[in-house]
Amino acid sequence: MTAALPRADVAPVASAKRRRRAPGWLAVLPLLVFTAIAFGLPAVAIVDGAFTVKDATTGAAGYTGANLTASLQGPYLTALLGSVKLSAVSAVLGVLLGLPLAQAVAGSRSRALREAVLTASGVLANFGGVPLAFAFVATLGNAGVLTMHLGLKDSGWNLYSFWGLVLVYLYFLIPLMVLTITPALDGLRTQWREAALNNGATGAQYWRHVALPVLAPSLLGGLVLLFGSAFAAYATAAAMVGSAVPLVTLQIADALSGNVLVGQENVALALSLDMVLVAGLVMAVYLPLQRRSARWLDA
C-alpha cells in the first residue's frame, strides 16, 4: 500500500488497483511462507529421503529407487496391502451401516432426534486415537468387561485382530459417514418419492432407480473419505494391536524407531511416499465427487 503512494500522481488508476491488491498479497504471504517451511520442508524430506540410499561403508549418499522397491516387497508389501484391505473393508461397512442410520435420522420428523444424532456424530467422528483403543480394550479385550461376562474368549473372540480393528474403526467411521451423507439425504425431495410411488413404483424400486443414482456421488465420496480416514489411522492401531496386524502406519513407526535392516533406514520415507500417493489418489477422487454432489443438491 505504501509502495503505491509515490506513483499516485502519475497513474491514479493503477495505484487504486494496487492499493486494493497489495494488502491481499501481504495478508496471505505469512501463511504461504509458514506452510513452505513447516509443511514444505518435511514434504521435500520425504521425497528426498525416499530416493536416497546411504552407503554403509563410505557414508556417501546416492539417488536410487531401491527404497521404493524395498517398500513394495516382503513384509512392507504385506503391511501396505494389509492397510488397504483393512481400510477398504472398514470403509465399505461404514457406508453400508452409516447410510441406514443417516436415513433413519433424515427421514424422522423429530428435530430433537436429528440434532442429537448429528451432534453425537460430530463428537464421535472426532473420537479416535488412544482413548478409543483403550475403551474397546476395556470392553472386548482379553480382560474386558464383555469378554469376561459373556465368556467370549471360549468362542474364539480376539479383539487384537483384523476384525477387531474393523469393529473399532467403525466407531469413528460410521459417524463420519452419517455426517457426510445426511446433507445429501436431505436433498432428496419428497416429491420425487411421491412421483415414483404415484407411477406405481414400489419403495424398493424408488430406491433402486431414483434415490441411489442421485446419492451415488455422495456415497462414493463418503466411501473414499472413510477409506482415507482409516488408511491414515495410526494411534488406535498402535495402542490396541501393537504389531499383531500388519499395517503400513505401524511399519513406518517401527522403522522410524530404528528397527530396520542396515541400508534401509530410508524405507520409512519410501513407505510414507507410498501412503502419500494413496492418500493423494483418494483426494483426487473425493474432491470432484464432492463438488459434483454439491452441484446436484444445490440445483
Which residues inside 34-53 make contact with another protein, applying CB under 8 A?
A: 34-35, 37-39, 41-46, 48-49
Angle between helices 248-256 and 267-298 (to 10 degrees): 140
Residue 123 or 212: the one with the smaller Cβ distance to another protein is: 123
| Member of 64, 69, 73, 119 binding another protein (CB under 8 A) | 119
Q: Which positions from 150 through 189 interact with another protein, judged by CB under 8 A?
A: 169-172, 174, 176, 179
Cell numbers placing 91: 470403509
| Member of 8, 16, 62, 127 binding another protein (CB under 8 A) | 127
3-state SS, the chain, equals CHHHHHHCCCCHHHHHHHHHHHHHHHHHHHHHHHHHHHHHHHHHHHHHHHCEEECCCCCCEEECCHHHHHHCCHHHHHHHHHHHHHHHHHHHHHHHHHHHHHHHHHCCCCHHHHHHHHHHHHHHHCCCHHHHHHHHHHHHCCCCHHHHHHCHHHHCCCCCCHHHHHHHHHHHHHHHHHHHHHHHHHHCCHHHHHHHHHCCCCHHHHHHHHHHHHHHHHHHHHHHHHHHHHHHCCHHHHHHHCCCCCCHHHHHHHHHCCCCCCCCCCHHHHHHHHHHHHHHHHHHHHHHHHHHHHHHHHC
Told to check if 122 binds another protein by CB under 8 A, we report: yes
- Build a one-symbol-per-residue string for 67-106: x at contacts with another protein by CB under 8 A, - elsewhere: ---------------------------------xx-xxx-
Whole-number minimum distance, CB 198 to another protein, in Å? 15
| Member of 164, 231, 241, 289 binding another protein (CB under 8 A) | 231
Residue 22 or 210: the one with the smaller Cβ distance to another protein is: 22
Q: Which positions from 243 through 282 interact with another protein, judged by CB under 8 A?
A: 249, 252-253, 256-257, 268-269, 271-273, 275-276, 279-280
| Member of 10, 13, 24, 155 binding another protein (CB under 8 A) | 24
- Applying CB under 8 A, the site for another protein has a residue count of 94
Whole-number minimum distance, CB 289 to another protein, in Å? 15
| Member of 89, 228, 241, 289 binding another protein (CB under 8 A) | 228
Q: Which positions from 133 through 152 interact with another protein, judged by CB under 8 A?
A: 134-140, 143-146
Residue 127 or 163: the one with the smaller Cβ distance to another protein is: 127
Q: Which of 49, 80, 44, 24 is nearest to 268 (CA)?
A: 49
Cβ contact 146:140 at 8 Å: yes
Residue 3 or 130: the one with the smaller Cβ distance to another protein is: 130
Cell numbers placing 102: 443417516
| Member of 2, 6, 30, 204 binding another protein (CB under 8 A) | 30
| Backbone torsions φ then ψ of 93, nearest 5 degrees | -65, -40
Whole-number minimum distance, CB 148 to another protein, in Å? 8
- Build a one-symbol-per-residue string for 187-226: x at contacts with another protein by CB under 8 A, - elsewhere: ----------------------------------------
